[in-house]
Amino acid sequence: SPEEQAFQDRIDAGERIEPRDWMPEGYRKTLIRQIGQHAHSEIVGQLPEGNWITRAPTLERKAILLAKVQDEAGHGLYLYSAAETLGESRDEMTQKLLDGRMKYSSIFNYPTLTWADIGAIGWLVDGAAIMNQVPLQRTSYGPYARAMVRICKEESFHQRQGYHIMMKMARGTDAQREMAQDALNRFWYPSLMMFGPSDKESVHSAQNMAWKIKINTNDELRQKFVDQTVPQAEFLGLTVPDETLCWNEEKGGYDFAEPDWNEFFEVLKGNGPCNAERIGARQKAWDDGAWFRDGLSAYADKQQARRMAAE
Partner 1 sequence: MTQTADVTASALDEALVQWLLRIGDTSLILGHRVSEWCGHAPVLEEDIALANTALDLIGHTQMWLGLAGQIEGKGRDADALVYRRDAMHYRNLKLVELPNDDMAITVMRLFLFDVFHQALIEGLTQSKDPRIAEIAAKALKEVTYHLERSSDLVVRLGDGTQQSHDRMQAALEHLWPYCGEMFWSDAVDETLADAGLAPHPDRLREGWLATVQDILTEATLKAPEGRLDVHLGGKVGRHTEHLGFLLAEMQFLQRAYPDADW
Q: Which residues bind partner 1 (CB under 8 A)?
A: 43, 46-48, 50-51, 53-63, 66-67, 69-70, 73-74, 76-77, 80, 90, 111-115, 165, 168-169, 172-173, 175-176, 178-179, 182, 186, 271, 273-274, 276-277, 281, 284-286, 288-300, 302
Instruction: Output the smallest distance, CB 78 to partner 1, in A.
Output: 11
> What is the rounded end-to-end Cα distance, in angstroms, of the chain?
51
Instruction: Output the smallest distance, CB 92 to partner 1, in A.
Output: 14
| Biggest CA pair distance of the chain | 77
Closest listed residue to residue 72, CA positions, set 39, 102, 103 = 39
**Measured from the CB atom, is 177 or 224 closer to partner 1?**
177
In the 8-state DSSP scheme, what is residue 50? H
Q: What sign does the CA torsion over 32, 33, 35, 36 have?
A: positive
In the 8-state DSSP scheme, what is residue 88? -
Closest listed residue to residue 199, CA positions, set 216, 217, 213 = 217
Instruction: Output the smallest distance, CB 99 to partner 1, in A.
Output: 17
**Measured from the CB atom, is 47 or 233 closer to partner 1?**
47
**Measured from the CB atom, is 93 or 240 closer to partner 1?**
93
**Measured from the CB atom, is 112 or 208 closer to partner 1?**
112
Q: From the centroid of its chain, how far is CA 56?
A: 23
Q: Is 179 within 8 Å of 238 (Cβ atoms)?
A: no
Instruction: Output the smallest distance, CB 222 to partner 1, in A.
Output: 24
Instruction: Output the smallest distance, CB 183 to partner 1, in A.
Output: 10
Q: Is 43 within 8 Å of 73 (Cβ atoms)?
A: yes
Instruction: Output the smallest distance, CB 271 to partner 1, in A.
Output: 5
**Measured from the CB atom, is 175 or 246 closer to partner 1?**
175
Residues with Cβ within 8 Å of residue 150, at least 6 apart in sequence: 75, 78
**Measured from the CB atom, is 59 or 203 closer to partner 1?**
59
